[in-house]
């Protein structure tokens, strides 16, 4: 089930009504939400519900075993979760990569290639399950009931594309029988903003710019390709942050506050700063469960400063998708993070710390944005060859006239300028909406929905992160 569809609107309204009726009965409320998650996730394929059920039962059992002192169950539980992810997501990639490598060596090998259907959100589900086992092992969160684990893993706003929630973030927010104040104004504001980002802006960029450019890069001039790359940077931000707004808004109407996932990522002054602002729940997961444990395993300078950042980002790239383009995407960010770390350490050792000036921030933002755009070229391309054609084409055709939609430049400028605005510049409008009362909020939301329906295209494409 997609967020911006009539089916989801019906489901959300039904869940909100049931949540209000069952707010004083916490167990019934949980069962209702579990069923809602099963309907939402099973809408794509009823068999997917079985995957959720098996994951919830298995991780619940392993967590209770860890809590009883069987700490060796942690690596087994983590390995089991990763094995499920590897089977569904990386089996075909691994088999074809090995076969191609052997063919290049003159060894003909034709292993059986099974048709494995990739479940939606399997990467997000795996990372959440692992975080539960690790947090129980670290005694950050106690082992929960099977019902609570099932509700958390199948929570319909997050089950397909995050934000990646930790059990210590979401489970304490489940109702205990007392009525909680629901921030309706903030929730509906997020829903309206998410719909505008996805239904209008991201959909227009996808159909009018990025699909034509990335689908046939050889027929476009250098300036057109460059604008296409910039358009994809805007597209993936609007698409994914729009999804996050819809997820957070839906959860808020149930009284649950999800973690923030984006904070003006294109205002970042370094690649490290970018990952502190982009897909923040993934960045924190990688830091807490991969980077920090790996860095502590050795005091060698090259390991902590170079090898670990590159390795973690290679794994992050592979987490996004089973293709060499995603590995290359991770490599770009890993090398950039390692370079920044080495440069920072060198300046500190030489007694020349970086000066924080307007000029240095401007240069840092410009360089960082283009490093990120290089990664987006690899991220969006179907193959390394296609990415190379696009990158090579950036240097050609600069004397020809541009064939791009007239609205593209103003839209790109608006997206980038919005990243640089201080929080207080937009806080007043949100605050005014929240204070306006139910009648005015409902009227404003109704007008917004009418405008979105008028401006949006026919049909809505799936969110880009659904394939991860």
To the query of whether residue 320 is one of the catalytic residues in this protein, the response is yes
Q: What is the DSSP string of 114-172?
A: ------TTHHHHHHHHHHHHHHHHTTSSPPPPHHHHHHHHT-TTTTTT-----HHHHGG
The rounded distance, in Å, linking the Cα atoms of 243 and 89 is: 22
Q: How far is CA 82 from CA 55, 130, 362, 409, in A?
A: 12, 9, 41, 43
The set of residues, in sequence order, having a beta carbon less than 8 Å from that of 292 and lying 6+ positions away, is none
Cα dihedral angle (380, 386, 387, 390), rounded to 10 degrees?
-110
Cβ atoms within 10 A of the Cβ of 111, count?
Answer: 11
Out of 220, 279, 320, 333, pick the active-site residue.
320
The set of residues, in sequence order, having a beta carbon less than 8 Å from that of 230 and lying 6+ positions away, is 373, 412
The rounded distance, in Å, linking the Cα atoms of 240 and 230 is: 16
Rounded (5°) CA angle 409-410-413: 85
The rounded distance, in Å, linking the Cα atoms of 245 and 203 is: 16
The rounded distance, in Å, linking the Cα atoms of 168 and 42 is: 26
The rounded distance, in Å, linking the Cα atoms of 285 and 129 is: 12
Roughly what angle, to the nearest 10 degrees, separates helices 384-393 and 358-380? Answer: 130
Q: What is the DSSP string of 236-282?
A: HHHHHHHHHHHHHHHHHTTT--PPP--S-GGG-SSHHHHHHHSSHHH
Burial letters 153-167, b for 16+ CB under 10 A, else e = bbbbbbbbbbbbbbb
3-state secondary structure 41-65: HHCCCCHHHHHHHHHHHHHHHHHHH
Q: Which helix (H) or strand (E) holds 340?
A: helix 324-349
Q: What is the DSSP string of 210-223?
A: IHHHHH-GGGS-HH
**161 in Cβ contact with 463 (< 8 Å):** yes
Positions marked catalytic? 320
């Amino acid at each position: 089930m997609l967020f911006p569809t009539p089916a989801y609107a019906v489901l959300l309204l039904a869940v909100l009504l049931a949540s209000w009726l069952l707010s004083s009965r916490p167990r019934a409320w949980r069962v209702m939400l579990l069923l809602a998650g099963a309907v939402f996730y099973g809408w794509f394929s009823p068999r997917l519900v079985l995957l959720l059920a098996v994951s919830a039962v298995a991780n619940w059992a392993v967590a209770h075993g860890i809590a009883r002192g069987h700490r060796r169950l942690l690596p087994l539980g983590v390995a089991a979760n990763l094995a499920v992810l590897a089977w569904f997501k990386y089996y075909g990639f691994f088999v074809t990569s090995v076969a191609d490598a052997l063919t290049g060596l003159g060894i003909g090998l034709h292993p059986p290639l099974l048709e494995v259907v990739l479940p939606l959100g399997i990467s997000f589900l795996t990372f959440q399950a692992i975080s539960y086992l690790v947090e129980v092992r670290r005694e950050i969160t106690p082992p929960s009931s099977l019902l609570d684990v099932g509700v958390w893993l199948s929570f319909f706003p997050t089950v397909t594309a995050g934000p990646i929630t930790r059990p210590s973030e979401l489970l304490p927010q489940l109702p205990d029988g007392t009525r909680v104040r629901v921030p309706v104004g903030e929730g509906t504001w997020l829903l309206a903003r998410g719909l505008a980002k996805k239904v209008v802006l991201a959909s227009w960029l996808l159909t009018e710019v990025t699909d034509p450019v990335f689908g046939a890069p050889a027929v476009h001039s250098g300036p057109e390709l460059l604008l296409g790359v910039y358009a994809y940077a805007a597209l993936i931000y609007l698409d994914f942050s729009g999804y996050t707004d819809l997820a957070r808004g839906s959860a808020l109407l149930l009284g649950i506050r999800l973690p923030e996932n984006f904070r003006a990522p294109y205002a970042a002054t370094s690649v490290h700063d970018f990952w502190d602002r982009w897909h923040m729940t993934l960045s924190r997961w990688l830091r807490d469960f991969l980077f920090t444990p790996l860095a502590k395993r050795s005091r060698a300078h090259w390991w902590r400063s170079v090898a670990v950042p590159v390795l973690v980002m290679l794994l992050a790239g592979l987490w996004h998708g089973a293709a060499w383009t995603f590995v290359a995407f991770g490599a770009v960010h890993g090398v950039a993070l390692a370079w920044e770390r080495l440069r920072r350490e060198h300046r500190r050792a030489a007694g020349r710390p970086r000066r924080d000036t307007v000029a240095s921030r401007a240069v840092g933002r410009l360089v960082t944005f283009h490093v990120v755009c290089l990664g987006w070229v690899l991220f969006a391309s179907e193959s390394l060859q296609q990415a190379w054609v696009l990158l090579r084409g950036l240097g050609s055709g600069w004397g020809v006239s541009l064939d791009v939609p007239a609205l593209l430049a103003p839209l790109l400028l608006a997206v980038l300028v919005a990243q640089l605005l201080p929080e207080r510049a937009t806080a007043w409008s949100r605050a005014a909406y929240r204070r306006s009362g139910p009648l005015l909020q409902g009227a404003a939301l109704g007008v917004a929905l009418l405008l979105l329906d008028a401006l949006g295209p026919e049909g809505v494409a799936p969110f880009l992160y659904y394939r991860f």
